């Protein structure tokens, strides 16, 4: 089971200070810092019809999860990239994006979202505070079943929602946003 969430700035702190606070909280819990990761999203539009969009997402942890059709062309200035540090804490994998603050948490011992959400929520609240309250909508709307990290659809759906929020908040037309 995996959850991606946006994290608000700590009171009176800058973005970098908030990231440092998250890193420190994870390390105080005993999480071990691992390699860096990258998730990005490129937006393409149909040739001759810019209202039809295709989102091509890449995840450095699952490099074969990319799809691109020749009937689409790159929509200039609409690439969003998130990079950050990856932590390991017992059965949890935690990825902290170092700009545009978001956190991805994966509980490796359970593949039925409804069975492990309360445990994940409690763990996430231990370093993010009480702002984490509900099951991500991608899991709330799916029929009861298994989460399959190999297909990445649930994860990429959550990142796409996050990237859409970031674009609306920070991007002017014709510019490129790099969230690192």
pLDDT in tens, the chain (180 residues): 678 888 888 899 988 898 899 999 999 999 999 988 888 888 877 777 777 877 888 878 776 555 464 445 666 666 777 788 889 999 998 988 766 678 888 888 877 767 788 888 899 999 888 877 677 776 666 555 555 554 566 677 777 777 777 767 654 343 333 333
CA distance linking residue 37 with residue 156, whole number of Å:
14
Whole-model pTM over 0.85: no
Q: Any idea which residue has 């231990």 for tokens?
A: 126
3-state secondary structure of 68: coil
CA distance linking residue 50 with residue 86, whole number of Å:
36
State how far Cα 163 lies from the chain centre.
8
CB hemisphere CA count around 127 (13 angstroms): 28
pLDDT at 160: 77
Whole-number Cα distances in Å, 80 to 16, 66, 124: 19, 15, 25
Instruction: Count other C-beta atoms under 10 Å from residue 18's C-beta.
Output: 16
Q: Which two tokens stand for residue 151?
A: 């297909």
H helical segments located in 105-152: 113-128, 137-140
Paired residues of 55 in beta bridges: 43
Whole-number Cα distances in Å, 133 to 9, 23, 107, 109, 171: 18, 21, 17, 21, 28
pLDDT at 30: 95
Q: At what angle do helices 15-29 and 113-128 cross, to 10 degrees?
A: 110
Strands 2-6 and 102-107: antiparallel
């Amino acid at each position: 089971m995996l959850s991606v969430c946006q994290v608000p700035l700590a009171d009176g702190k800058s973005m970098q200070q908030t990231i440092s606070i998250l890193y420190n909280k994870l390390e105080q819990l005993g999480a071990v810092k691992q390699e860096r990761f990258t998730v990005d999203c490129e937006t393409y539009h149909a040739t001759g019809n810019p209202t039809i969009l295709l989102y091509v997402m890449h995840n450095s942890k699952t490099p074969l999860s990319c799809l691109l059709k020749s009937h689409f062309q790159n929509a200039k200035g609409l690439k969003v990239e998130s990079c950050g540090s990856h932590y390991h804490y017992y059965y949890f994998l935690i990825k902290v994006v170092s700009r545009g603050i978001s956190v991805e948490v994966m509980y490796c011992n359970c593949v039925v979202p409804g069975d492990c959400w309360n445990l994940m929520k409690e763990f996430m609240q231990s370093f993010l505070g009480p702002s984490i309250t509900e099951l991500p909508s991608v899991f709330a709307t799916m029929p009861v079943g298994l989460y399959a990290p190999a297909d990445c659809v649930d994860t990429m759906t959550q990142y796409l929602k996050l990237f859409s929020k970031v674009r609306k908040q920070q991007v002017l037309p014709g510019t490129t946003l790099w969230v690192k």
